[in-house]
A and B are shown apart, each in its own frame.
Chain A
Amino acid sequence: MPVFNQSRSNIIRLIFGGMFLIIAAQLVNLQLVSNKYKKLAEENALFPKRIYPNRGIIFDRKGKAILNNAILYDLMVVPSQVKNIDTQYFCQLLGIDTAEFRDRILDAKFKNGPFRPSIFEDLLPPDLYAKFEENIWKFQGFNLQERPVRIYPYNAAAHIMGYVGEVDSSVLKRSTGYQLGDYVGRTGLEQYYERELMGQRGIEFWIKDNKNRLVGHYENKALDTPAIAGKNLRTYLDIDIQQLAEKLLSNKVGAVVAIEPKTGGIIAMASSPDFDPNELTGPDKQSHYAKLALDVSAPLFNRAIKGQYQPGSTYKPLGALIALDEGIISPSSGYDCHGVYLGCNRPVKCDEKFAGHAATLRLAIAHSCNSFFCNTFRQTLDNPEFHSPRKGLMKWRQYVTAFGLGHRIGVDLPSEDGGNVPDTSSYDKIYNRSWNSCTMVTMGIGQDQLSVTPVQMANAMCIVANKGYFYVPHFVEKVDGETKEDTLLNRYRRKHEVLTHIPDDVYEVVISGMQDVAEIGTAKAVRIPGINMCAKTGTAENYLVVDHKRTKLKNNAMFVCFAPRENPKIAIAVVVQNAGYGAAWAAPIGSLLVEKYLNDTLRAESVKKAQDIANTNLLPKYLIRVQFIEDSTRAAQRALRTHDSTNLMKYIIPSSRAALLDTLRRNNNAIIQRSPLIKPKEDNKPQTDSINK
């Protein structure tokens, strides 16, 4: 019996023990030393799901929601669960063919794998959603998933509201609070009040399994943070006025701003051409955006705060106030005008010729006498007190700046422009320091280098109506749940008493003149019975380089007003580009808005007039030419790049070329500003003799 081998039992024990030691050592390494496995396990199994809060809602002054949230639906698919479905019927509903269906399923498998849901079709239009909701039980593996979107129930105020889009790398770099996939306000109030509107993102921790399916909450929601909804904005906007303004501006290029003088609250702000704000939220927003961005008439451009126009005669009440306050003229001052101002080398035409149309200041304003105001402006500059037009210009500039011109006024929208009030240095540069009051005499009638934005004009009217003070024009009256410390609105609640040192009776003289404008003067045609409206029309010359030629375009029609005189409730500025006389095209728009706002309704004849104005197409013809140049250049560049000239051909073949350039046909097309062929870039910088060297 091999008892002598007994010692070998110890060797066997040693082998056993050694193995256990090796295992224990590896366990120490895995479980105690290395800490990467814990993280790897969490990455494997934890899914932090972002919960998006509802963005704040924007209400108008009557409490109507003009920007709201809605739920659209994405059609989701889990490829591995798709079986036994009527593909033919499915494709018919969606309007695709079976090959496309297969492609999308393959695509979904490729992107997210067969076990996870992928988007098959995003943001179903409501009718399609209804059809799918009814039939979804037939399509195993498909389901409809909620997706909150912004909607604009009134299809209005696109420029004011702005839109939201996914954050891009520049936003991510700038601020820390965002993650890829978040939505952020891109323009308008959406951008300006982003902090109030966005709310606070929540996070839920979910557990996922080996196929990335979410199977349940982690740690019983203990680590989750709930989403906090964004704050609602209450604005001064009146959506009815806004809609009317947009309607009146349709088929025109221009802008309207209406402000409540007592608060600075903006009642309406329209810019034309505009776009349907809903186009930039729902399906196809990308293609819509591209279309708008390529349009030379610039529908994405908010002319009310960015368009810079020479005010023309609408400046005259300000000029009168300045001269009165300086003591240069008196209410009884007059000018013997015979249709032309000859005080300087260059004659300045006046539209009125009959004798005595500028016998007093009041009459001069009512009849908008160019000669009177050229003369007044020169006297302001050549004020004997200063002995130098240089000092006179500086003093004048001080007044004009106090009226809120020449600098950004601070409206609560992003990217406002400031306009231009020239100072001595800019004339020094152009005229080599040798200039006098005659050099810029047309500034007295709102031309030359003076340029303003519509919102500045409306604000200047507020100052006149308020007899010297204003609140910075703004949309938002209050933010729901705001606190004193963090509100953005404090700066809009401060009264700016810029020109209250001008005595009230001086204001009264000018205001009387403005009332005469609407009663017996240039704007008497738009008088509203029962309302004492104070107004001023304007007609400003403008030029543009088209086809390398400096061309004089049709005059810009301007109009400012406020009403009622006794207790001003609304101040309006209207610009219609290249339309002609201010009295003919801008004044009716302003007057209709005043009537609608003050009377809450329009008279029958006004309704008809509104319809007529809305139907009138005043789009400048040069836009078609400019659009053609832009588009054909792009097509040619593309043809060079891709060696595919099919698209370019339509700009070369004579017949289609003629059709594209046919101004008559296209001007009759009422929806021209929504046409895919037009694009931004137009002349917003006023060009006059003086700066066009």
Chain B
Amino acid sequence: MSSRNPAISKGVDWSIVWIWIALCTIGVMSIFAATYRESDTILQGFISLKTDYSRQLLYFIMGGVIGTFILLTDSKFFTATANLFYVFGILLMLLVFPFHSRIKGTESIIKFGNAFQLQPADLCKLFVNLALAKYLSRVETDFSKTRSQLIAAAITLGPAMLSIMQHELGLALVYFSFFLVMFREGLPANILIIGFSFAVLVVATLLLEKNTLALILTAIAGLAVYILRRQVKRNRAILFLIAGLWFVCVGVQRFVVPFVFDHVFEPYQVKRIYDAIGKDYVPKDENAAIEIEQKSKGSKKDGDYNVKQSKIAIGSGGLIGKGLLKGTQTRYDFVPEQRTDFIFCTIGEGFGFVGSLVLLGIYFLLLMRIVAIAERQRSVFSRCYAYGVASVFFFHLSVNICMTIGLAPVVGISLPFISYGGTSLLTFTIMLFVMIRLDADRQMVLR
């Protein structure tokens, strides 16, 4: 068997590994640029493990070690244990409820002592990806059946629900990216289109005045009836369908969205969503106002401030940037959370448009490479898994960058391989290396 081959490097896609190394290096350097103080001695800073960049360097090295181990593993191991891992992941997420420690407005983190902390909702992406690939690659799964589609959706959205219950809306949204995998595997495009339309409807609800939107919806319905008048004559059912759709849309914009915003989302999340679309949010009652106040105390300033400072940082970078360690915005703490969620500012300010484009290019290369790898797999499992990796990376990096440049609401989503954080870096690394391992065995058909 080829898996018995002593050379582990056989079949490994080294381009991905190089990209991984490049991104992690950029990450360590960016964190260094964001947190370095003049008083630090650089060498000591990198060795001491007391600074963030030295810890990130450690995680990077750990990632390399774990990656090597993964490359040494038999790829059958992942198919065999996928479901087991999924159950383990769900268990971990459930464990969070009794054991979470309260850190900065989230209830999703378990702390082991002071040094190490674990965010199962973050880690669980990996397990969901494995489990989804496993389910989709089963011989008996016919993905054209609604039943299978519902099961696949349940597999991905289960952890998302748990994540929402842990007040981690951002991480919950990540799980929606797996719909791209399902789309590739034959999920009707209509569902995605309907989902997208629904999102548009929700945003429109927030942006437009209630009655104006209702009027617009009615006009669209009327137009649809007019265009389809021939078919309607032949088949009355279409008229009912349009009426039903209209009814659902108006219902959503009138009742569902307000209900969700008032009862499901946290007031501070509502505020952030409003901030992102540029509207003022007036809390319904005092409690909500107080809660927003308390939430924003954790990070000193509200989401609007973060985005503003972040945009100033990136915008002031200009074409070629101010240079490493020269950025005044990022060096002097104007951008909050800049070593984690807002790390892109450091690159935008320090290296300007050119630097940002280079980073974007590396990411784009990575995604295109992963899609290419996915498409060359003979095994459905490997293909689904690779698409899952691409989708998660894509979602993370686009939402993260969009929020730093003011195109998306501020949700706590990290920039893959670059944001500071052990769980995040190791999760992404493991996801990537599992994919490389699977790709190395692409001659095998895994079930």
Contacts and interface: CB of A to CB of B under 8 A. Distances in A.
B329 A45 contact: yes
Interface stretch (B150-158, B313-321, B430-438): B313-321
A24 B357 contact: yes
Interface string A440-469: 000000000000000000000000000000
B385 interface: no
Contacts of A357: none
B163 to A, nearest CB: 23
A354 interface: no
Given A16-B368, A16-B371, A44-B328, A31 B334 contact: no
| Size bracket of the B interface | 35 or more
Contacts of A8: 183-184
A207 interface: yes
Nearest to B316: A41
Interface string B325-336: 000110011100
Given A12-B371, A30-B405, A38-B315, A44 B329 contact: yes
B332 A34 contact: no
Contact of A207 (B319, B328, B357, B398): B328
B360 interface: yes
A481 interface: no
Interface in B358-403: 360, 363-364, 367-368, 371, 374-375, 380, 387, 390, 394, 398, 401-402
| Interface of chain A: mostly helix, strand, loop or mixed | helix
Interface stretch (B19-27, B249-257, B348-356): B348-356
B332 A9 contact: no
Contacts of B329: 41, 44-45
A31 B374 contact: no
Interface residues of A, number: 40
Contacts of A34: 315
B371 A27 contact: no
A30 B311 CA distance: 7
B315 A28 contact: no
Given A26-B407, A37-B312, A9 B318 contact: no
B184 A41 contact: no
Nearest to B398: A19
Contacts of B390: 12, 16
A16 B394 contact: yes
A5 interface: yes
Nearest to A18: B398
Contacts of B394: 15-16, 19
Contact of A30 (B183, B184, B314): B314
A101 B341 CA distance: 42
Contacts of B285: none
B315 A2 contact: no
Nearest to B374: A9
Contact of B183 (A12, A17, A210): A12
Contacts of A27: 314, 348, 353, 356-357, 360, 405
Contacts of A670: none
Given A28-B353, A207-B328, A36 B360 contact: no
A17 B371 CA distance: 12
Nearest to A30: B315
A30 B319 CA distance: 10
B334 A44 contact: yes
A13 interface: yes
Contacts of B186: 2, 5
A210 B328 CA distance: 10
Contacts of B120: none
A209 B329 CA distance: 8
A36 B353 contact: no
B312 A41 contact: yes
Contacts of B402: 22-23, 26
Contacts of B367: 16
Contacts of A20: 360, 363-364, 398
Nearest to B405: A26
Contacts of B368: 13, 16
21 contacts: A2-B186, A5-B186, A9-B374, A16-B368, A16-B371, A16-B390, A19-B394, A23-B401, A23-B402, A27-B353, A27-B357, A30-B348, A31-B356, A32-B353, A37-B315, A41-B329, A42-B316, A44-B334, A45-B334, A210-B334, A215-B332
Given A16-B394, A45-B332, 13 more contacts: A2-B143, A9-B374, A12-B183, A20-B364, A30-B311, A30-B315, A30-B348, A31-B348, A37-B314, A40-B315, A44-B312, A208-B332, A209-B334
Top 4 closest A-B pairs, CB basis? A37-B315, A45-B328, A41-B316, A209-B332
